[in-house]
Amino acid sequence: MSKLSVSEQIRSLRKSKGLSQEALAENAGINLRTLQRIENGQAVPRGETLRLLAGALDVSVQDLSESVEALPNSMEDDAGFLRLMSLSALTLWFIPFGNILIPLAFWVLKKNKVNGVAELGRRIVNFQTIWTVVTYGLAILNIFPAFFGEIYIDPFIMMPIMLLLFIANTVYIIIITRKIPSGEREVLAQV
């Protein structure tokens, strides 16, 4: 007798209990689209999702996770990690160039392990690099002529501009992070 994949196990258990996909998703506390992707074999449940599904189906996590272990190349869905990676750009307030370096580290470490990290990481690093070049470029253009006794922009005007750029970047990061929990791939395309 061949071993059922996790998607086949979940589908079979759900049907044997007379549950619709909507009912199982609601009982497990997961997104319906996530359950549909799992049952279609497009995603493999891991961590919290696997635990929630096992609980809703009244089986142990180990019963479901045995077939998950057999799929080493599958990537997990982890919206929490995506949010953490996005929020890591806020380190710009504490660490010079942290807005690039910290998301870059998350991106490199997890791009082949968590769905969405490759795309979101690339977009975060690109945006933060451009923002950093523009913001610090303006500061350098303002400071450098001062060494020669020339001032192009009054420092009392430049400081609020710099602060405004930092605040605008922070608001942008928070808005993007708030969009991530929806779990929709379209959100990643808009980042």
CATH of the domain at 41: 1.10.260.40
In this structure, is residue 1 part of a structural domain? no
In this structure, is residue 36 part of a structural domain? yes
Q: Which domain holds residue 24?
A: 6-69
Cβ-based neighbours of 147, under 8 Å, separated by 6 or more: none
Is there a single domain that holds both residue 135 and residue 61? Answer: no
Q: Which residue has the higher pLDDT, 54 or 155?
A: 54
Average pLDDT, the chain: 82
Q: Which residue has the higher pLDDT, 153 or 30?
A: 30
Cα 25 from Cα 31, distance rounded (Å): 6
In this structure, is residue 110 part of a structural domain? yes
Q: Of 69, 99, 116, which residue sits at a domain end?
A: 69
Is there a single domain that holds both residue 122 and residue 159? Answer: yes
Q: Where are the alpha helices (DSSP H) in 17-154?
A: 21-28, 32-39, 47-56, 61-69, 79-87, 98-110, 117-143
Model confidence band, residue 158 (pLDDT cutoffs 50, 70, 90):
confident
Is there a single domain that holds both residue 64 and residue 105? Answer: no
Residues 77-112: tens digit of each pLDDT: 788 889 999 999 999 999 989 999 999 999 999 887
In this structure, is residue 130 part of a structural domain? yes
Model confidence band, residue 185 (pLDDT cutoffs 50, 70, 90):
very low
Q: Of 49, 69, 89, which residue sits at a domain end?
A: 69
Is there a single domain that holds both residue 88 and residue 178? Answer: yes
Is there a single domain that holds both residue 32 and residue 113? Answer: no
Total number of domains in the chain: 2
Is there a single domain that holds both residue 59 and residue 142? Answer: no
Cβ-based neighbour number of residue 117 at 10 Å: 24
Judge whether 75 and 114 are in contact, CB under 8 Å.
yes
Is there a single domain that holds both residue 84 and residue 176? Answer: yes
pLDDT the model gives residue 154: 74
Residues 16-74: tens digit of each pLDDT: 888 899 999 999 899 889 889 888 888 888 778 888 888 888 888 777 765 544 444 45
